[in-house]
Amino acid sequence: MEKGKGVLGAGRRWAVDFSDNSTAPSSRDIPDPPGFTRASVDQDDSAVSRQKKDAEANWKAQKAWEVAQAPFKNLLMMGFMMWMAGSTVHLFSIVFEPYKDNKVELLGPKLLFIALNLGGLALGVWKLNTLGLLPTHASDWVSSLSPAQEVEYSGGGIPL
Amino acid sequence: MAIGSFLILFILFFFSSLNPILSLYEDQVGLVDWHQQYLGKVKQAVFHTHKTGRKRVVVSTEENVVALLDLRQGEIFWRHVLGSNDVIDGIDIALGKYVITLSSGGSILRAWNLPDGQMVWESSLRGPKHSKSLLLVPTNLKIEKDNIVIIFSNGRLNAVSCIDGEVLWEKDFEGESLEVQQVIQPPGSNLIYVVGFASSSLFEMYQINALNGELLKHESAAFSGGFLGEVSPVFSETVVALDSTGLILLTVSFQNGMISFQQTPISNLVKDSFGPAKIIPSSVTGIFAIKMNAVTIVIRVTDENKLEVVEKTNHETSISDALPISEGQQAFALVQRAGPEIHLRVKLAHNWDDNLLKESVKMDQHRGLVHKIYINNYIRADKSYGFRALIVMEDHSLLLLQQGEIVWSREDGLASIIDVTTSELPVERDGVSVAKVEHNLFEWLKGHMLKLKGTLMLASPQDIAAIQSMRLKNSEKSKMTRDHNGFRKLLIVLTRAGKLFALHTGDGHIVWSYLLQSLQKSKVCQHPIGLNLYKWQVPHHHAMDENPSVLVIGKCGPSSDAPGALSFVDTYTGKELSSLSLVHSVALVIPLPYTDSTEQRLHLLIDADKHAHLYPKTPEAISIFEREFSNIYWYSVEDDNGIIKGHALRGKCTGEVADEVCFDTRELWSIVFPSESEKIIATVTRKLNEVVHTQAKVIADQEVMYKYISRNLLFVATVALKGSGEIGSVTPEESWLVAYLIDTVTGRILHRVTHHGSQGPVHAVFSENWVVYHYFNLKAHRYEMSVIEIYDQSRADNKDVWKLVLGKHNLTSPISLYSRPDVITKSQSYFFTHSVKTIAVTSTTKGITSKQLLIGTIGDQVLALEKRFLDPRRTVNPTQAEKEEGIIPLTDSLPIIPQSYVTHALRVEGLRGIITVPAKLESTTLVFAHGVDLFFTQLAPSRTYDSLTDDFNYALLLITIVALMAAIFLTWTLSERKELQENWR
């Protein structure tokens, strides 16, 4: 999960706003790089802000999917580790909080995330089962069962 | 990580397949174990007190021990236990250097070197018929410079050379009904007189030349009144006997070969008659004693064979043998008990009126009467005679008296323990503790410094010795209060003398002893026998303030209908709470699994008429009993007839014995063994107080087997009638052994197995769902041990996990034995090298710890053998899963690992029983082995997994902690400094 965290954390610490920069008056002196057409940028304010928001939303959705898929990369590694020996269960934190937005549909990524984590869990359980650590046999439930009481009592022996 | 876990698994498996060695290190001996040596009740003592050298006494005892004791301290120089089939008939000292013993009904004569107890020679003496055995060592009778020993045994008179045990001559006395009573050798002559009775009214006298065994004279004279009992020699040619009514004393003189009788009715001697008399034989010239009921009369015989009463007393009197003190003078001692004192008198044989010595010695009430006395003299500084007396008391203890003081005492009653039980010690409260506080601070500090040195391995050899002695004398272990681990307990033992002892498990010291009045001879009870000990009251929970008590069961006389006697003894104080003389007999005692509100256990006593009597006789007990009335059964094993009978209770007694607590019984079932082919030789049941942790046994592949655990199972072993004799007396074809498992409620035979070509004796132990028994295989000429495990097949269907998870199963609900059981058994047999005296099994408080068999070997040692070796599921090639389960590959014989001898280098001579008691710590069990010797130790069959062992490396732990602390401080200061430097940069 370290990788996923890295992506998120770095994304929030700094941001380069390319669109904002292009409208700043100070940058007018600098000639446009070759092949850059200003026409697409020079739009009215409302259009610019809407476009900006759309881009952000797209980016967020893309990121969300990325994050959701992140465990997938780990699954193989994890599976291998579990197959080798591990029977430790990883704790997945819910990581979709930063991408929460009215417009972004997060149900899909969440479901995938849950499904994949459940897959991991299933793998873990399967591993425990093969190790014989799951109480799935009758023997696991009767091993400390005290003997049944007998109703009758008899004593005696060879006369003294 | 993966490799690491594989390694761990491998190590675990490696350890599980190892046999845990139970051996001790040398310095652990005596830390938890103790060993005490005893002799048994002395039946003969011979002093060996030469002018120079150590003063010693040779004793023979009823436990068939011959021993040499130091007269100064009573310590044992050497000791030989001859075994129960080699009863000692007589001992003496010959030539001043050999101890002569006659044993096995007069057929084995042995000479032992006196200083070291090595055997010098052994002769076997045969004879035409069974008879009394008499041993005589004449002081100065020589055949060709050879000192001789004269033995009369098995109807034959033998003269045996002292030097090499060679029989010099022999003479048979084959008269059909001749019963030889005495062999008299008048000192200074070469004659031997053999006197006896024939045809109950004929007095026979044979005069024999001691040098060649030639019969010189044979006289017989008839006495119409007949004879009774023994004769007592009063002079060298005169004996005293009783007529058949026991009312007339006969002085029989055979001087010059002429037999003459002189009758003296006892009523002439004493005014009031006390019934028939009995002669107490003594070797004192001219003195003998008779006993009539409780009255002892000492009679002097004058030169004219006149009888004179010199003393008549109501006190029990013991008379010593004659002790020659100077030329022609004999001294003897009389001892009597009067209240808290014993009175000792030493007199000269021919001078009754004067006492050479008269002493009173204070004596513990619980030693009872004086049974025997042996005297010995020494010359005081003023050239007068001093006397020391060795006395044997009613409780079988042995004491040496000298100058009115008890010089030493030995509690030899502990050599004959009948039954053992245990009791808890009081809970530690303020003022209860008896722990000794260290003498002063300096001592305390010194002790701890020494211990620290020892821990850090800096101690010198002297220090190590000091530490060792400190460990051994640890006052903690002999404290008189309960400890947290339950190691400190009281062992309550009942001895054959009818005395109760409480021994402390810590160091074996006697906490209290009590001579039970109900087991002492009295008018109503002539021959009391102690039988058993039961825990009567074990207070816990709500009845904590009561003291625990034990129930002692005895009966009057050996017959089956002799009335019983009960006694209740407080185990804290050692005082008798109450005693009952029963009107009914006691054939069986059944402790019931019910207790009343004061934690008194209900006991059912079955008498010879098959009535059941309930104790305690309280209304509460009766109401508890009546609630369970229909569920109580009892069975009796009649091993003489080969019948096992089961009974149920029917109702209150009818008829003359009507009593609130008396119940009639009716026979339910009986198992009759064919008398020709099967004879019951062993029965064994589970211990009533055994705790079983679980009914399930998980085997490989997570399968479950349900143990058939029942308190009502009886293991019975029978052998063919022909094969019930000694080993090797029959051919394999004629002998077989049948083992049964019988349900004692319904009489159902659950299992039966025949071992062809096998023979007893069978020793067995029953625990949980298995029984292990030991017998002899005639075909293989080896001992064998077999195990039978019994499993309940009807429970095997409980495989539904959900039912088990939710508890919807009926595995723990009470079951009735009348429901049809479906059992399977598994069994296996193995060869075992040793012959066995007794087998026991370890018991722990929760029954979780694995079990060990404790085998009392013929060498009087206790061997611990893990139950794992007697697992019927052992195979030659166990699968991987079975190996993981701990199943050992099958071998044909059971291993005997020398380190697993519980008794290590010691021997429990005459081993009779092994008792195991759980400690509070689950891993540990307390083991007490008794015979002539006593041995106690603690065992941990699966090692002490629940506490740190004694050899735990505290030093390493300490060093690690110190090193870690140092490292923490060091790194902390370093990091502080570095941070400071960083900040300045």
B420 and B524 share one domain: yes
Question: Is the Cβ pair B632, A160 closer than 8 Å?
Answer: no
B423 and B501 share one domain: yes
Q: Which residues of B touch A156 (CB under 8 A)?
A: 588, 590, 606, 634-637, 744
Q: Which of A151, A154, A158 sits opposite B634 (nearest CB)?
A: A154
Task: For B21-48, write each residue's pLDDT tens digit.
Answer: 456 777 778 788 899 999 999 999 999 8
- CB–CB contacts below 8 A, A to B: 151
pLDDT reading at B665 higher than 50: yes
Question: Predicted confidence band at A11 (pLDDT cuts at 50, 70, 90)?
Answer: very low
Nearest-Cα residue of chain A relative to residue B625:
A153
Nearest Cα of chain A lies from the Cα of B287 at a distance, in angstroms, of 42
Q: Which stretch, B258-262, B327-331, B831-835, has highest mean pLDDT?
A: B831-835
Last residue of a domain, one of B649, B672, B695: B672
pLDDT at residue number B646: 94
Question: Is the Cβ pair A155, B1 closer than 8 Å?
Answer: no
- The residue range of the domain holding B645 is 587-672
Residue B815's Cβ-count burial label (10 Å; 0-12, 13-18, 19+) is: buried
Q: What is the mean pLDDT of residues B495-520?
A: 90
- Name residue B43's beta-bridge partners: none
Question: Predicted confidence band at B316 (pLDDT cuts at 50, 70, 90)?
Answer: confident
pLDDT reading at B78 higher than 70: yes
Mean model confidence pLDDT for chain B? 86
CA nearest B886: which of B865, B866, B863, B864?
Answer: B866
B421 and B448 share one domain: no
Which of B532, B649, B695 would you mutate first to test chain A, the one with the most A CBs within 10 A? B695
Question: Predicted confidence band at A89 (pLDDT cuts at 50, 70, 90)?
Answer: very low
Nearest Cα of chain A lies from the Cα of B816 at a distance, in angstroms, of 5
Q: Which residues of B touch A84 (CB under 8 A)?
A: 1-2
pLDDT at residue number B295: 83
Rg (alpha carbons) of chain B, rounded to whole number:
34
Nearest Cα of chain B lies from the Cα of A126 at a distance, in angstroms, of 17
Question: Are the CB atoms for A86 and A127 separated by under 8 Å?
Answer: yes
Q: Which residues of A touch B695 (CB under 8 A)?
A: 142, 145-148
pLDDT at residue number B231: 84
Residues 76-105 of A with CB under 8 A from B: 84-86
pLDDT reading at A19 higher than 70: no
DSSP states of B622-654 as a string? HHHHHHTGGGEEEEEEETTTTEEEEEEEEEE--
Nearest Cα of chain A lies from the Cα of B276 at a distance, in angstroms, of 31
CA nearest B769: which of B786, B787, B755, B753?
Answer: B787
A107-131 vs A45-84: helix axis angle to the nearest 10? 10
pLDDT at residue number A1: 40
- Reduced to 3 states (helix: H, G, I; strand: E, B; else coil), residue A26 is helix
φ/ψ of residue B342, rounded to 5: -120, 140
Examine residue B969 and state whether it is found in any structural domain, yes or no.
Answer: yes
Question: Are the CB atoms for B415 and B61 separated by under 8 Å?
Answer: yes
pLDDT reading at B96 higher than 60: yes
For B721, what's the count of Cα atoms within 13 Å in the CB-facing half-sphere? 9
Which of A81, A143, A152 would you mutate first to test chain B, the one with the most B CBs within 10 A? A152
Question: Predicted confidence band at B783 (pLDDT cuts at 50, 70, 90)?
Answer: very high
Nearest-Cα residue of chain B relative to residue A153:
B632
Last residue of a domain, one of B540, B559, B585: B585
pLDDT at residue number A74: 76
B570 and B605 share one domain: no
Examine residue B544 and state whether it is found in any structural domain, yes or no.
Answer: yes
Nearest-Cα residue of chain A relative to residue B811:
A148
B489 and B555 share one domain: yes
Residue B734's Cβ-count burial label (10 Å; 0-12, 13-18, 19+) is: middle
φ/ψ of residue B469, rounded to 5: -65, -30
Nearest Cα of chain B lies from the Cα of A76 at a distance, in angstroms, of 17
Question: Is the Cβ pair B703, A139 closer than 8 Å?
Answer: yes
Q: Which of A150, A154, A160 sits opposite B815 (nearest CB)?
A: A150
Q: Which residues of B touch A139 (CB under 8 A)?
A: 696, 698, 702-704
B632 and B538 share one domain: no
pLDDT reading at B1 higher than 50: no
Examine residue B633 and state whether it is found in any structural domain, yes or no.
Answer: yes
B421 and B519 share one domain: yes
Rg (alpha carbons) of chain A, rounded to whole number:
31
Question: Two tokens at B576?
Answer: 């008798």
Question: Is the Cβ pair B636, A85 closer than 8 Å?
Answer: no
More confident: B523 or B178: B178
Q: Which residues of B touch A144 (CB under 8 A)?
A: 693-694
CA nearest B718: which of B743, B735, B732?
Answer: B735
pTM for the model: 0.84
Q: What is the mean pLDDT of residues B738-747?
A: 93
Q: What is the mean pLDDT of residues B756-765?
A: 91
Residues 114-153 of A with CB under 8 A from B: 132, 135-153
A34 touches chain B (CB under 8 A): no
Q: Which residues of A touch B5 (CB under 8 A)?
A: 85
Q: What is the mean pLDDT of residues B223-249?
A: 83
Task: For A130-146, write each residue's pLDDT tens digit.
Answer: 887 888 877 788 878 88
Examine residue B403 and state whether it is found in any structural domain, yes or no.
Answer: no
pLDDT reading at B224 higher than 70: yes
B422 and B546 share one domain: yes
Examine residue B693 and state whether it is found in any structural domain, yes or no.
Answer: no
Question: Predicted confidence band at B459 (pLDDT cuts at 50, 70, 90)?
Answer: confident
Q: Which residues of A touch B811 (CB under 8 A)?
A: 142, 145, 148
Q: Which residues of B touch A85 (CB under 8 A)?
A: 1-2, 5-6
B574 and B593 share one domain: no
Q: Which residues of A touch B801 (CB under 8 A)?
A: 135-138, 140-141
Question: Is the Cβ pair A143, B698 closer than 8 Å?
Answer: yes
Nearest-Cα residue of chain B relative to residue A141:
B804
Domain boundaries of chain A, sorted by first residue: 48-86
Question: Predicted confidence band at A76 (pLDDT cuts at 50, 70, 90)?
Answer: confident
Q: Which residues of B touch A127 (CB under 8 A)?
A: none
pLDDT reading at B796 higher than 60: yes
CA distances from B118 to B78, B94, B426, B922 (A): 9, 15, 47, 46
CA gap B605, B584 in Å, rounded: 9
Question: Predicted confidence band at B438 (pLDDT cuts at 50, 70, 90)?
Answer: very low
Question: Is the Cβ pair B683, A136 closer than 8 Å?
Answer: no
Buried residues in B897-936 as b, exposed as e (16+ CB within 10 A)? eeebbbbbebbbbbbbbbbbbbbebbbbbbbbbbbbbbbb
B959 and B981 share one domain: yes
Mean pLDDT check: name the lowest of A11-15, B279-283, B429-433.
B429-433
pLDDT reading at B786 higher than 90: yes
Nearest Cα of chain A lies from the Cα of B633 at a distance, in angstroms, of 4
Nearest Cα of chain A lies from the Cα of B911 at a distance, in angstroms, of 21
Q: Which residues contact A74 (CB under 8 A, 6 or more apart)?
A: A1, A3, A120
Question: What percent of chain A lies above the pLDDT cut of 70?
Answer: 64
Mean pLDDT check: name the lowest of B19-33, B175-189, B720-734.
B19-33
Task: For A57-74, write each residue's pLDDT tens digit.
Answer: 899 889 888 888 877 777
CA nearest B168: which of B186, B151, B154, B183?
Answer: B151
Residue whose tokens read 């390319």: A18
CA gap B148, B136 in Å, rounded: 9
CA nearest B397: which of B732, B691, B59?
Answer: B59
More confident: B95 or B658: B95
pLDDT at residue number B432: 44
Which of B627, B744, B802, B803 would you mutate first to test chain A, the one with the most A CBs within 10 A? B744
Question: Is the Cβ pair A142, B711 closer than 8 Å?
Answer: no
Q: Which residues of A touch B531 (CB under 8 A)?
A: 160
Nearest Cα of chain A lies from the Cα of B182 at a distance, in angstroms, of 37
Q: Which of B560, B638, B702 sits opposite A139 (nearest CB)?
A: B702
CA gap B565, B547 in Å, rounded: 22
B444 and B502 share one domain: no
Question: Is the Cβ pair B702, A149 closer than 8 Å?
Answer: no
Nearest-Cα residue of chain B relative to residue A143:
B696
pLDDT reading at B449 higher than 70: yes
Question: Is the Cβ pair A158, B636 closer than 8 Å?
Answer: yes
Buried residues in B664-693 as b, exposed as e (16+ CB within 10 A)? bbeeebebebeeeebbbbbbbbbbeebebb
Q: Which residues contact B536 (CB under 8 A, 6 or more apart)?
A: B548, B549, B550, B551, B568, B600, B601, B603
Question: Is the Cβ pair B814, A148 closer than 8 Å?
Answer: yes
B488 and B576 share one domain: yes
Last residue of a domain, one of B621, B649, B672: B672
CA gap B119, B116 in Å, rounded: 9
Question: Is the Cβ pair A153, B712 closer than 8 Å?
Answer: yes
Give the number of domains in chain B: 4
pLDDT reading at B434 higher than 70: no
Task: For B525-571, write each residue's pLDDT tens digit.
Answer: 778 888 899 999 988 766 567 889 999 999 888 888 888 889 999 99
Question: What percent of chain B lies above the pLDDT cut of 90?
Answer: 38
Mean pLDDT check: name the lowest of B3-7, B112-116, B661-665.
B3-7
Question: Is the Cβ pair A141, B628 closer than 8 Å?
Answer: no
Question: Two tokens at B214?
Answer: 């030639």
